[in-house]
Chains A and B, each alone.
Chain A
Amino acid sequence: MSEKRATADPLGSLADPLGGFPGESAASGRAPGRAAGRSRAGDDPAAPDPSNLACPAPIPERARVLLGHGSGGQLSAALMRDVIGPALASASAGGPLNDAAVVDVAGTRLAFTTDSFVVSPLVFPGGDIGELAVNGTVNDLAMMGAQPLALSLAYVIEEGLPIEELRLVTESVARAAVRAGVRVVTGDTKVVGRGAADGLFVNTAGIGLVSAGVAVAADRAVAGDAVVLSGSIGLHGIAIMSVREGLSFEVEIASDTQPLNALVAAIVAACPDVRVLRDPTRGGLASALNEIAAASGVGIELREETIPIPGPVRAACEMLGLDPLHVANEGKLVAIVPAASVEAVLAAMRTIPEGADAVEIGRAVADHPGMVTMRTIVGSQRIVDMLVGEQLPRIC
């Protein structure tokens, strides 16, 4: 080894421990996965012993639900397709998976949706779970081309949650509902023991009115249609990650959570024949487009340079080894419209604040149905895959 010693010994002298830990989050001192851990450890006294295996083949986790099943990617799709869908078959209406369902009530078409919000921490840059819940539900209705009418609000509260937090979240719900022009008309509250909920779980249901002549569905895209994105991607997911324990970093990124019903109204007015609307939440833009391509039986081709990704989002993704196309968004939508209407649609979107940065990012094509591809900046063509499970940061 080298004879030369460094001028400063990197290993320092005995002093305080490591010093201020970066970005220690005041919001949540909980370890990731603790909620799951608490309820399970009691059930299962004999912890699994991998050294005792008999079967030579590795057993993919089939018996238990994983976090990845909730992340909006391939595992989620598989859970729907292989477990939930078949089990519900006798009671369900069938058809492609949409953000909401349309129920015909004596000639009036009502859109109906439900959603649960389990985000942790409850408060994050740009919003909180209350705002997220209202906007998420309003947007699910809007993605059916429906104008939202009313919401329900149900809380599952973990014992020990500070009452002030509950009040703040609820006030947030109210503000968001007023902004979106909906009423919260019914609700429910339950409290569960410590460890059984991550502070607060929120469930909502929403109803909306689908205008005559509007038939938005995941399977309606046809080859030649234009793919439009309402604005920059990656903001919500990165904002959440920036305060997640173990991955703390500072970034001037706030969640983009916002209601999109006004934007959808503008799109529908400019193009009543809008084919598909989708808000790329969990699983990101890639997962949403893959679902649409599969449901519609078309291919989708994107151009990388047209996709707006804010600098700090790109930087955070580089750092963590994430693909921005897989990062969740909470205030953006993808619209698939006939090519002839794309200019009118873009113009209409850009008059609304939530659509100011709307841009065309690609086309539906007849080639490679079900697959999404992208022409990269370097000029090559690559496949844009769906997220598999949970998005994990990597070092390699």
Chain B
Amino acid sequence: MCLGIPGKVVEIREDGPLRMARVDFGGVRQEACLAYVPEVVVGDYVIIHVGFAISQLDEAEALRTLELLRMIDPEGMALELGPTTEPATAVEGSGAPPASQGTAA
């Protein structure tokens, strides 16, 4: 939902019943619970919400998204396809998610 911030796991404590970690958010560090991301290791990025890691951030996907976003070129599209155009189904650099991710058409 909201206020889930990406941070980097810098230390993990396995001594208690709950797997706790110290997570670094661009210079601020806070404790968070890793109970819900058992595969995460030091160096991984996680999304933290109210002191819990709810998801591991997929860095490859993050880069991929940015790459695709950078490739968007509406001016180029307009030139190539004309201003009032039918949106093409396979638009280069459109940021559509990879098919493996889910039920994209």
Contacts and interface: CB of A to CB of B under 8 A. Distances in A.
A and B touch in the complex (CB under 8 A): yes
A22 B15 CA distance: 15
Nearest to B35: A10
A319 B5 contact: yes
A314 B25 CA distance: 9
Among B5, B31, B35, B50, residue most surrounded by chain A Cβ atoms (within 10 Å): B31
Interface in A371-396: 394-396
Interface stretch (A126-134, A163-171, A245-253, A277-285): A245-253
Interface stretch (B16-24, B71-79, B92-100): B16-24
A8 interface: yes
Interface in A156-193: none
B71 to A, nearest CB: 19
Given A12-B17, A12-B18, A14-B17, A251 B28 contact: yes
Interface in B1-54: 1-3, 5, 13, 15-20, 22, 25-31, 35-36, 38, 48-50
Nearest to B39: A7
Given A8-B38, A19-B18, A19-B20, A312 B26 contact: yes
B16 A314 contact: no
A23 B19 CA distance: 17
Query: Contact size class for B?
Result: 20 to 34
A6 B31 CA distance: 23
Nearest to B1: A396
A41 interface: no
Given A10-B36, A22-B30, A319-B28, A396 B3 contact: yes
Nearest to B49: A395
Contacts of B27: 251-252, 310-312, 315
A13 interface: yes
A314 B29 CA distance: 13
Contacts of B2: 321, 395-396
Contact of A311 (B3, B5, B15, B26): B26
A52 B81 CA distance: 68
Query: Contact size class for A?
Result: 20 to 34
Contact of B25 (A18, A252, A318, A396): A318
Contacts of B28: 249-251, 312, 315-316, 319
B50 A395 contact: yes
A6 B29 contact: no
A10 B17 CA distance: 8
A248 B25 CA distance: 14
A24 to B, nearest CB: 11
A11 interface: yes
A7 B36 CA distance: 11
B31 to A, nearest CB: 4
Contact of A395 (B3, B13, B17): B3
Contacts of B50: 395
A314 B28 CA distance: 9
B91 to A, nearest CB: 23
Among A13, A251, A310, A319, residue most surrounded by chain B Cβ atoms (within 10 Å): A319
A204 B29 CA distance: 36
A396 B30 CA distance: 18
A181 B70 CA distance: 55
B3 to A, nearest CB: 5
A6 B38 contact: yes
A163 B92 CA distance: 72
B35 A11 contact: yes
Contacts of A394: 3
Contacts of A316: 25, 28
Contacts of B16: 12, 15-19
A235 B19 CA distance: 31
Contacts of A8: 19, 38
12 contacts: A8-B19, A11-B17, A12-B17, A15-B17, A16-B16, A19-B20, A248-B30, A250-B29, A312-B28, A319-B30, A395-B3, A395-B49
Given A13-B17, A14-B17, A319-B48, 17 more contacts: A11-B35, A15-B17, A16-B15, A16-B17, A19-B13, A19-B16, A22-B30, A23-B31, A248-B30, A249-B29, A250-B28, A251-B29, A252-B27, A312-B27, A315-B25, A316-B28, A318-B5
